[in-house]
Structure 1
Amino acid sequence: MGFFKKLFGGKEEQLNAVSPLTGKVVDITNVPDQVFSQKMMGDGIAIEPTEGKVVSPVSGTIATVFPTKHAIGINADNGAEYLIHIGLDTVNLKGEGFETHVTEGQSVKAGDPLVTFDLDFIKANAPSTITPIIITNHDSFGVNKLVAEGDTVTAGSSEVVELTKK
């Protein structure tokens, strides 16, 4: 179908997402939390961060900044809904170790800073620093993961997911 759209001038809606973190890719099915590994919230990837900085993976609007600062929701310009959940069970930290740099309703571009966090504090006080990046409305998109488990990615520059609107 993509070939015919290109040949006859139709536009295929697609948006590549860059990595929101620097670190090592973990397959979503290997995240040690069933909500994420069984894709109950959606499909995506996860990253074991090596730096305490999260940037926007796409251009869009901040939909949710959790009061505990451990998770951010973004509505991408193409309609995809992203959830970035920093670490596992980090809601229990009640915001300690996190600093947000955006507010709900704010427009962002890919690479804009969203959250900084104290990686050592998270390592010491949460079960895992693995950060799932989930497309919560993945049933509306074809999801093509551009990275594999073990790949090293850089925040704001490594393309990690390609979505095509169904």
Structure 2
Amino acid sequence: MFSKLKKKKTIFSPMTGQLIPLATVKDPVFSQGMMGPGFAIEPTSGEIYSPVEGTVTNIFPTKHAISLKSKNGKEILLHIGIDTVALQGQGFDILTKENAKVTKETLLARVDRDYLKQQGKYDTLMVLFPEEQSLPINVEVKETVAQTALFDFE
């Protein structure tokens, strides 16, 4: 009789920088969508916030990636930089823990962008949805974003 209404949730930009389409990322694993659909940010700061209200589900031992589950059950992977797994955690300061409840105001990590560049690594942040086949994300190169509401999803 009554249908259960799905609540839409908002994805926020997790850091300050230039929003770019995932297809333009300088790594085929991401640009070809092998890790799922999403978007990327060319950062202008090193602070990374949660893009959703939810829970931290995994912090990679090498500190280059953080997995989240949004309140409505969507899996989100924040992958910090390209080929940064090789840095073995150097240049990353993780400020959260697994199972922590987070909101868009939660500072998850700080990245030493200068260190990444000294090591020859790109500091691009990929925001990925690994369990999705597609998402209604039509990202154009935009001006700088900073914890800006980017889009809603169910």
Map of 2:144 onto structure 1: 152
Unaligned stretches of 5+ residues in structure 1:
1-7
What is the aligned residue count?
153
Measured after TM superposition, the shift of residue 147 of structure 1 is 4.5
Counterpart in the other structure of 1:161: 151
Give CA-to-partner distance per residue, 1:96-150, whole Å, 9 cap, x none: 11100111111111220000011111122143111110011223xx623375223
Q: Does 1:68 align with 2:62?
A: yes
List runs of 5+ in structure 2 lacking aligned partners.
none
Q: What is the CA–CA distance in structure 2 between the aligned matches of 1:39 and 1:111, rounded to whole Å?
A: 28
Query: What TM-score do you get using the length of structure 2 for normalisation?
Result: 0.91
5 Å matches for 1:36-51? 36-51=30-45
Q: Which one-letter code corresponds to 1:160 in the other structure?
A: L
Check conservation: 1:147, 1:160, Cα contact below 8 A: no
1:1-166 aligned at under 5 Å gives the runs 11-139=5-133, 143-145=135-137, 147-154=139-146, 156=147, 158-164=148-154
Which deviations, in whole Å up to 9, do the C-alpha atoms of 1:27-71 show, x marking residues without a partner?
101111111111111111000000010000001110110111111
**Aligned-pair CA distance for 1:9:** 7.6
Q: In the alignment, residue 92 of structure 1 is paired with which amino acid?
A: A
**CA–CA distance in structure 2, aligned partners of residues 121 and 61 of structure 1:** 29
Distance 2:31 2:50 in 1: 22
Distance in 1 between the 2:135 and 2:12 partners? 14
RMSD value over aligned CA atoms? 1.7
